[in-house]
Amino acid sequence: MVSQPKTPSQLMVFNVEKPKDQLVHTDECSVRSNAGNVIYGPPSGNDIPKLARRAAGWSIFLTAVRQILTIGTTMVVSRHVTPSEFGVAAMALTFLAFLVLFDTALTWATVQAPIYDKEKFDALFFFGFLFGVGLLGLSVIAGPLLAAFYNAPKLIWLSVFIGAAAFLNSLATQPAALLRRRLQQKKLNTIDTAALCVSCAVGIGLALGGAGVWAVVSQAVCMHAVRSIAVLALSEAIPGWPRKFSVALPELRKGAGFALSNYVCYFQLYLGGILAARCFGSLAMGNYQRAYGVKSMPTQYASMVVTDVMVSSLAALRSEPEKLALLYRKALIITSVIGCPAGAFLFSGGAEVIRLLYGPQWQGAARLLQWFALAAMTLPISTSTIWLFLAAGKAREQLWMNIGLTGISLVALLSTAKFARDLETLVLVESALFAGPYLAMNLFCSHRALGISLLLTVRSLIPILAASIVAGACAYVLGAAWSTDFWQALAWKIIVFFAIYVPIVLFTVRPFPFAAVERLLNKVTTKKEAL
């Protein structure tokens, strides 16, 4: 996501192992060595706090704008695209998510590179071009295979279409990484928001025109295309023919390591959907994807602001484990107090939420969302452990944990898909995996990595989880019994849920971090000065 372009005078050399007399400032836009190679560095240390505060503010604002646009567009498109058509589109987009994983990893490898110059930029850009061509070719070849696997003939051409998006995404990898290195978050976020606006307009227009599956896929492909073109145009770096390809090897190796972790996690996130489409067809896939998306919303909103602040804050306290543990638990309580009940409410109010967001034709997703509520309730807790892994720099430990979890997923979900007679059973097993092994292993491994007490964390979470479960069950039993009207039923369920949840949490969570909430929100704009 992106930020405002900074003036060229803010670009400095970062960790360049050369004497100062070997570097010649040619203009305010760059630093150039005697060999004529432009060095792309991050902003100066004095500018970082100001840029970080501005980046955080714009990131929060534009993220909120994008969420509103996304929800609004989804509400319109879902009423003009059938669940079966959406299911076919979801099959194609699941494959697209797989295609872009290496590009995502390479972006972060580039951002973390100690030295990043024009020579390295050119080499990595040329690699991205070749890799994008390879992805496009793979998409052409995979089309008939995907069509046969899912028994969906439309995937032959849909696969070619999304291959074009993967190609454009590969071209934009290095320009986007360069913007991130310069902390130009406003520019990146603005690009993402503009691309989303265009893609939403395209999706809505095609859906209203009866394009069906093509409306959904075109929206995603248009998003990649507009973003890639804008990033290429606004990164202020013009690629040239690389003089030496070997300079890109360190970033390629590091990117491959990050990509391995991405590919491992991919099957945790997407295996359930792949099996739903394979075993139960496009209609089941459409309902599954809608329920899965709503399941993730509470965690997404609960941790949207806190995550950005917590990683840098916890990293600064690595040498003080007691303070680190205290800050982590306070932040965890804040996100859990919001995210856990929101997830639990989906058990009682899932049918109303689905109808409100997507329309009456999607009620097949409502029952699936009820079973996903168990995962939605615990997901904010599992997600918070990422803060600890990143703060501790324990990427290898996290990779091994994810390999183990992916193995459990493969065994459990493949076995379930083989013997299950309906999609609800598959969803129930997947939800139990999120709430059971995923949660337990994430908590255990992350706390072990930093040497902090797991018992104290569990104790702080028990009242929140218990209150969420009790409130969800009561709202399910009482809310629907008092009214059959859609809006009245939804209102009663909300009232019952929070009338039970709020008192339990206020009286059982001790100490309740009222002051921590205010301080943590203030850190969104101030804590970055510690960088």
The length of the chain, given as a count of residues: 531
Q: Give CA–CA dist 494/32, Å, rounded.
A: 61
pLDDT at 284: 94
Q: What is the pLDDT of residues 324-370, one digit of tens each?
A: 888 888 888 888 888 899 999 999 998 899 999 998 899 899 999 99
CB atoms closer than 10 angstroms to residue 93: 21
Look at residue 259 and tell me if it is in a domain: no
Helix residue ranges per DSSP H, 151-248? 155-171, 173-181, 185-208, 213-234
User: What's the pTM?
Assistant: 0.81
Q: Give CA–CA dist 115/284, Å, rounded.
A: 49
Provide the domain limits for residue 308. 272-531
Q: Strand locations in 16-154, DSSP E?
A: 23-27, 30-33, 38-39
CB 311 within 8 A of CB 391: yes
What is the 8-class DSSP label of residue 151?
T
pLDDT at 57: 56
Looking at the structure, do residues 30 and 157 belong to the same domain, yes or no? Answer: no
Summarize the confidence of residues 308-337 as an average pLDDT. Answer: 78
pLDDT at 522: 58
Looking at the structure, do residues 107 and 226 belong to the same domain, yes or no? Answer: yes
Look at residue 118 and tell me if it is in a domain: yes
Query: 153-157 contacts: CB < 8 A, separation 24 or more?
Result: 154/88, 154/213, 155/88, 155/91, 155/92
Looking at the structure, do residues 31 and 50 belong to the same domain, yes or no? Answer: no
Q: What is the pLDDT of residues 244-257, one digit of tens each?
A: 777 778 888 888 87
* HEC letters along 363-400: CHHHHHHHHHHHHHHHHHHHHHHHHHHHHHCCHHHHHH
Going by pLDDT thresholds of 50, 70 and 90, the confidence category of residue 17 is very low
Look at residue 387 and tell me if it is in a domain: yes
Look at residue 261 and tell me if it is in a domain: no
Strand partners, 31: 39
Looking at the structure, do residues 30 and 50 belong to the same domain, yes or no? Answer: no
Structure tokens at 501: 């949840």
Looking at the structure, do residues 129 and 211 belong to the same domain, yes or no? Answer: yes
Looking at the structure, do residues 461 and 402 belong to the same domain, yes or no? Answer: yes
Going by pLDDT thresholds of 50, 70 and 90, the confidence category of residue 49 is very low
Looking at the structure, do residues 15 and 56 belong to the same domain, yes or no? Answer: no
- The total number of structural domains that make up the chain: 3
Closest CA to 115 of 187, 14, 43: 14
The larger pLDDT score, comparing residue 517 to residue 88, is at 88
Look at residue 250 and tell me if it is in a domain: no
In angstroms, the Cα distances linking 437 to 27, 171, 218, 297 are 56, 38, 37, 21
pLDDT at 323: 83
Q: Could you give the percent of the chain with pLDDT greater than 70?
A: 79
Look at residue 338 and tell me if it is in a domain: yes
Q: What is the pLDDT of residues 471-526, one digit of tens each?
A: 999 998 887 666 677 888 888 899 999 999 999 888 887 655 545 545 554 554 45
Looking at the structure, do residues 122 and 212 belong to the same domain, yes or no? Answer: yes
Look at residue 253 and tell me if it is in a domain: no
Looking at the structure, do residues 104 and 59 belong to the same domain, yes or no? Answer: yes
Look at residue 3 and tell me if it is in a domain: no
Looking at the structure, do residues 234 and 218 belong to the same domain, yes or no? Answer: yes
Q: Give CA–CA dist 122/72, Å, rounded.
A: 40
For the ranges 4-18, 163-177, 198-212, 436-450, the lowest mean pLDDT is seen at 4-18
Looking at the structure, do residues 164 and 309 belong to the same domain, yes or no? Answer: no
Looking at the structure, do residues 368 and 447 belong to the same domain, yes or no? Answer: yes
pLDDT at 261: 81
Going by pLDDT thresholds of 50, 70 and 90, the confidence category of residue 259 is confident
